[in-house]
Amino acid sequence: MRFLKAREWSVPKAYKMLMDCLNWRVQNEIDIVLAKPILPSDIYRVIRDTLLVGLTGYSKQGQPVYAFGVGLSTFDKASVNYYVQSHIQMNEYRDRVVLPAASKKFGRQINTCLKVMDMTGLKLSALSQIKMLTMITTVDDLNYPEKTETYYIVNAPYVFSACWKVVKPLLQERTKKKIQVLYGSGRDELLKVMDYESLPHFCKREGSGSSSDSLDGVDCYSYDHPFHQQLYNYMKQQQSLNQDSVGPRKQGSVHVDVPSPGLEEAKIAETIKAELQNLRGSGGLAHSFSSIQIEGP
C-alpha cells in the first residue's frame, strides 16, 4: 500500500519501485544493517553531533515524533558512508522497534511518524550540504516511502523562505499536503498534535531556536540521550546475536549504494542550488536570517 500510494496508485510503477527496493535491500544487506554498529563509539558520537536527529516522544495519536536539526547539521566530521549508514540504521530501528512499540503502547497499528524540522542556523553555505541531504532523502523516498505523515518546518529563516517559494511549485500535491511551515518555533500549533513533554527542545520556548540545552541538560540529538543509547546498545546486541552473518566487530563504515534520485528530486536539488547561488550573487546575505512568518503550504 505504501508503494502504491507513493506512485499515485499506478500498479506497474509501484511494482517496479517495490522490486527495486527489495533488490537494493538484498544487494546492500540491509536486513542485517542493525547488526553493524558504527565503531568505535567515539565515531558514532561525532556523527550524532553533526547529523542532528532524535526521538522526542509521541503525538496524541501515538505516532513517534522525530526532531531534525537541519540548519545546524554540518555532515563534516565523518565520511559520507558513515552518515548514510547511520541514517539507514535509524530508519530500520524505527520500523523494527519504535513503530511496533508505539503500536503496542497505544493499542492500535501505527505505521507513520511525525518530523519536526528545525531550520535554525540555515545559511547560504548550506549549498555545500545539499549533496548529502539529497542522498538521504533519495534513500527515504525510494526505499522507505510513506513513513512520515507530516513534516513540520519551524524556526525558518529568510534563506529557507526564498528556497521554499521556488521549490513548492515543483512538489507533487501529495507531498505539499504533508508539509506545514509554522511560525517561529511552532509551539502553539504543535501542541495541538502532541503534549508539551513530546515537544523538541527547540520548540518549548518561543524564539528559543535550536539551543543545545533542554530541561534535563541532554537534548534529543545527543549520543547521551536515552533514545540514542538504546539504539546503539540494540545494535551491539544484534551484532552479538548475528556473529555468523556479520563476523567479528571491526572499525569502518558500511558502504551502501545510494540510488540515483528521481527526476523530481534531482530537479528540486538543482532548483535549490540555483536559488542559493542567486541569493549569494544578489546580496542575499544582507537579509536578516531571523525567524519570519511564512505562509503555510
How confident is the model over 40-83, as pLDDT tens digits?
999 999 999 999 999 999 999 999 999 999 999 999 999 999 99
For residue 36, give the 3-state DSSP assignment: coil
**The amino acid at 143:** N
Has residue 251 been placed in a domain? Answer: no
| Pick from 32, 89, 50: nearest CA to 223 | 50
CATH no. for residue 172? 3.40.525.10
Contact 253, 85 (CB under 8 A): yes
125 confidence band (pLDDT: 50, 70, 90): low
- Which single residue is written with the C-alpha cell 510513506? 146
Has residue 248 been placed in a domain? Answer: no
Q: How far is residue 69's CA from residue 78's CA, in Å, rounded to a whole number?
A: 17
250 confidence band (pLDDT: 50, 70, 90): low
Q: How far is residue 35's CA from residue 38's CA, in Å, rounded to a whole number?
A: 10
For residue 94, the 8-state DSSP code is I
- Say what the pTM is: 0.87
Q: What is the pLDDT of residue 128?
A: 63
Has residue 56 been placed in a domain? Answer: yes
Q: What is the pLDDT of residue 126?
A: 65
Q: What is the pLDDT of residue 17?
A: 95
Task: Tell me how crowded residue 2 is: count the other CB atoms within 10 A of its CB.
Answer: 15
| Number of domains making up the chain | 1
Has residue 133 been placed in a domain? Answer: yes
Please name every residue paired with 26 in a beta bridge, in sequence order, or none if there are none.
none
Has residue 160 been placed in a domain? Answer: yes
Has residue 258 been placed in a domain? Answer: no
Has residue 213 been placed in a domain? Answer: no
- Does the pLDDT value for residue 285 go beyond 80? no
The residue range of the domain holding 119 is 41-205
Contact 175, 286 (CB under 8 A): no
Q: Which phi and psi angles does 22 have, rounded to 5°?
A: -65, -40
pLDDT per residue over 201-237, tens digit each? 999 865 544 444 454 567 999 999 999 999 999 999 9
Has residue 54 been placed in a domain? Answer: yes
- Which single residue is written with the C-alpha cell 565503531? 39
